[in-house]
């Protein structure tokens, strides 16, 4: 094991010791394919079942939203207090964010490096790759529609 992957393992292990958050330890052993420009569906096929199995998918799809960051003051004199629910949510989200970004190639990481939450990373990747998928699909359909064998279109063979 390289020193960098050993230190990453130690770092991830230390982060997941907080009992108020769902542990993501071992995720780097389960997510073996790093996302590149060419393997989005394979990468997504690893990420989604893992997060759903851990009951964490709601963080990336937005169905588990952040709580308010501060509790409302109970009197005119008191300052807003930090919301413990928000702190728990934020800790969990940052662990998910870490798992996501550690599964990206450097090329893809450059597109999401400024995303502050796992939900933001997920949305950015979805937009990026869904656009590519639609473009590729349209290109393949066009190629099939215009493909010829002799004087006939290939589509004529299917009718």
| pLDDT per residue as tens digits for the range 100-141 | 999 999 999 999 999 999 999 999 999 999 876 666 666 667
Is-above-0.95 flag for pTM? no
Mean pLDDT score, 30-38: 90
Q: pLDDT digit string (tens) for 56-84? A: 999 999 999 999 999 987 777 778 889 99
Which of the four pLDDT bands, split at 50, 70 and 90, describes residue 25?
low
* Distances from the Cα of 59 to the Cα of 35, 72, 108, angstroms: 20, 24, 21
Least confidently predicted of 49-53, 89-93, 150-154? 150-154
Unique residue bearing structure tokens 């002799």: 150
Residues 6+ apart with CB under 8 A from 80: 70, 71, 72, 73
Burial of 93 (0-12, 13-18, 19+ CB in 10 A): buried
């Amino acid at each position: 094991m390289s020193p960098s992957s050993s230190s990453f393992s130690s770092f991830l292990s230390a982060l997941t010791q907080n009992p108020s958050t769902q542990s993501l330890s071992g995720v780097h052993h389960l997510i073996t394919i790093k996302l590149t420009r060419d393997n989005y569906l394979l990468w997504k096929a690893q990420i989604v079942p893992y997060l759903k199995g851990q009951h964490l998918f709601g963080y990336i799809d937005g169905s588990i939203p952040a709580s308010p960051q501060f509790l409302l003051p109970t009197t005119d004199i008191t300052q807003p207090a930090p919301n413990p629910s928000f702190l728990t949510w934020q800790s969990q989200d940052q662990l998910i964010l870490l798992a996501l970004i550690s599964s990206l190639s450097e090329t893809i990481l450059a597109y999401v490096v400024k995303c502050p939450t796992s939900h933001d990373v997920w949305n950015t990747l979805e937009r990026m790759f869904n656009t590519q998928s639609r473009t590729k699909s349209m290109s393949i359909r066009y190629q099939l529609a215009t493909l010829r064998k002799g004087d006939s279109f290939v589509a004529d063979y299917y009718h």
